[in-house]
Amino acid sequence: MNVNQLSQRLALVAGFLPKGAYFADIGSDHAYLPCYVCLNDPEAKAVAGEVNKGPFDSALNEVKKHELHDRIDVRLGDGLEVIAPDEMKQIIIAGMGGPLIRDILEKGKNKLTSVERVITQPNIDSRSIRKWYYENGFNLVDETIVEEGGHIYEILVAEKGNPDNAYQNLQEDFQKQLWLGPFLLQQRSSAFIQKCREELDKKVYVLNQMKQATAVNQEKLNMINQEIQWLEEVLHS
Ligand SMILES: C[S@@+](CC[C@H](N)C(=O)[O-])C[C@H]1O[C@@H](n2cnc3c(N)ncnc32)[C@H](O)[C@@H]1O
């Protein structure tokens, strides 16, 4: 991958930024995403944050290669500690597990006062991020899902606002929507259906394992039965 041939996943993430964005890409690795955005939008500016020295050096080299150092500031540090409060308008955190992204957001909450939009792309467990958005006054405004290289990736876009707006049937279906995504449930794209099929296979396997165990955790069993029912509702509607 390089800036000219950005992965479809990262191009979709970048597509959720407004024109003239001033954003931080946390866990930027080679800084492909901020370079791509700044090469395509002369008004855009970015901070590329990296906690590890190797990817930090790669990001510096990439930014230098494209002579973008006056518009992309590469900073070494953990999560949102590389930015100041009131500094950024948008935050991107992509290509990590949901719980890690959630922890980065939680730890750096005080840096989000000026942030209008948070775009995340968890590799696993998107539920933990929807939950974090919901509990922290971020309204989920869009989602998408894409299959690339045999993996399925979700992208979750949130803005400051009433977190209830994204969810219908708060009483009945809230947990289902938190898990599977209210927008993804509506869109029913082929990648989403594929993800649901794969999830169903996994859940049925886990259920069978649990049934064979000597001690049964009833709460877990109920949860897995509920999740299987939700997936079947999606696949058979
Ligand atoms: C798998 S790469 C993803 C790179 C790019 N964001 C993408 O989506 O292709 C994850 C990157 O996040 C960095 N990272 C992990 N934890 C981090 C943290 N707490 N703060 C900043 N960077 C972090 C890693 O060093 C690594 O370069």
Compute, in angstroms, the gap from residue 93 CA to the centroid of ligand 1. 8
Phi, psi angles (nearest 5°) of residue 234: -65, -45
User: Which residue, judged by its Cα, is nearest atom 13 of ligand 1?
Assistant: 27
Question: Is the same domain home to 140 and 213?
Answer: no
Compute, in angstroms, the gap from residue 230 CA to the centroid of ligand 1. 32
Question: Is the same domain home to 55 and 153?
Answer: yes
34-38, 137-141, 167-171, 199-203, range with the lowest pLDDT: 167-171
Check pLDDT > 70 for residue 53. yes
Question: Is the same domain home to 64 and 118?
Answer: yes
Let me know if residue 180 belongs to a domain.
Answer: no
In this prediction, residue 115 carries a pLDDT of 97
* Polymer length in residues for the chain: 237
Atom of ligand 1 nearest to the CA of 121: 8
| 21, amino acid identity | A
Let me know if residue 58 belongs to a domain.
Answer: yes
User: Which of 2, 6, 7, 50 gets mutated to test ligand 1 (max ligand atoms within 8 A of its CB)?
Assistant: 50
Compute, in angstroms, the gap from residue 154 CA to the centroid of ligand 1. 16
Q: pLDDT tens, 192-215?
A: 999 999 999 999 999 999 989 888
Q: 1 or 36, which is more confident?
A: 36
Q: Which DSSP symbol is given to 231?
A: H
Q: What angle do CA 37, 113, 85 make, to 5 degrees?
A: 80
Let me know if residue 1 belongs to a domain.
Answer: no
Q: pLDDT tens, 166-198?
A: 987 777 799 999 999 999 999 999 999 999 999
Number of domains in the chain: 2
Sign of CA pseudo-dihedral 191, 149, 227, 208: positive
> Cα–Cα distance between 217 and 205 in angstroms, integer?
16
Let me know if residue 176 belongs to a domain.
Answer: no
Q: Which residues line ligand 1 (CB under 6 A)?
A: 10, 26-29, 49-52, 55, 78-79, 94-96, 104
Question: Is the same domain home to 124 and 216?
Answer: no
| H or E element, residue 36 | helix 32-40
- By DSSP bridging, strand 117-122 and strand 90-96 are parallel
Tokens 């479809």 locate to 8
Question: Is the same domain home to 55 and 166?
Answer: yes
What does the DSSP assignment read for 79-146?
Answer: GGGGS-TT--SEEEEEEE-HHHHHHHHHHTGGG-TT--EEEEEESS-HHHHHHHHHHTTEEEEEEEEE
User: Which of 25, 30, 47, 51 gets mutated to test ligand 1 (max ligand atoms within 8 A of its CB)?
Assistant: 51
In this prediction, residue 1 carries a pLDDT of 66
Complete edge-to-edge strand list for the sheet that includes strand 151-160 = 72-76, 45-50, 22-26, 90-96, 117-122, 151-160, 138-148
Let me know if residue 98 belongs to a domain.
Answer: yes
Compute, in angstroms, the gap from residue 192 CA to the centroid of ligand 1. 25
Question: Is the same domain home to 131 and 211?
Answer: no
Q: Which domain holds residue 149?
A: 8-170
Q: pLDDT tens, 87-135?
A: 999 999 999 999 999 999 999 999 999 999 999 999 999 999 999 999 9
**Last residue of a domain, which of 170, 199, 226?**
170
Question: Is the same domain home to 57 and 105?
Answer: yes
Q: 1 or 10, which is more confident?
A: 10
Compute, in angstroms, the gap from residue 50 CA to the centroid of ligand 1. 6
Compute, in angstroms, the gap from residue 121 CA to the centroid of ligand 1. 11
> Cα–Cα distance between 163 and 59 in angstroms, integer?
34
> Cα–Cα distance between 35 and 31 in angstroms, integer?
6
| H or E element, residue 62 | helix 53-65
Atom of ligand 1 nearest to the CA of 52: 25
